[in-house]
């Protein structure tokens, strides 16, 4: 049964992918649409898997950004603290 559902969906055309990428480029709307495509029941399985992968990469990017910001912030604070303790 699951195999029949997957064969009912036609591959997405180049035009479909272009529209998809343009929509995802719109701030906030694109993010919401990723959730709609990833977890919607009427979405082409290829687009649903792509949207899930995009959400995973987005989450990884946020985590790495926070991590690097903390590391950079600690480095700056350490540098500033060392400059205060120096006597000329």
CA distance 45 to 51: 10
Q: Is the pLDDT of residue 32 over 60?
A: yes
Give the pLDDT mean for 15-38.
96
Residues with Cβ within 8 Å of 11's Cβ and at least 6 positions away in sequence, in order, are 46
Q: Domain count for the chain, please give it.
A: 1
Q: What is the pLDDT of residue 81?
A: 87
Judge residue 51's burial from the number of C-beta atoms within 10 Å of its C-beta, 0-12 exposed, 13-18 middle, 19 or more buried.
buried
pLDDT digits (tens, 9 = 90+) for 44-85: 999 999 999 999 999 999 999 999 999 999 999 999 888 877
Residues 37/43, Cβ–Cβ less than 8 Å: yes
User: Residue 47: which domain range?
Assistant: 2-85
pLDDT digits (tens, 9 = 90+) for 6-15: 557 789 999 9
CA distance 50 to 33: 12
């Amino acid at each position: 049964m699951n195999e029949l559902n997957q064969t009912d969906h036609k591959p997405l055309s180049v035009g479909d992918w272009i529209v998809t990428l343009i929509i995802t480029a719109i701030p906030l709307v694109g993010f919401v649409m990723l959730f709609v495509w990833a977890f919607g029941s009427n979405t082409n399985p290829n687009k649903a898997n792509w949207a899930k992968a995009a959400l995973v990469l987005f989450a990884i990017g946020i985590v790495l950004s926070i991590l690097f910001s903390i590391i950079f912030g600690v480095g700056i604070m350490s540098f500033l603290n060392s400059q205060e303790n120096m006597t000329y």
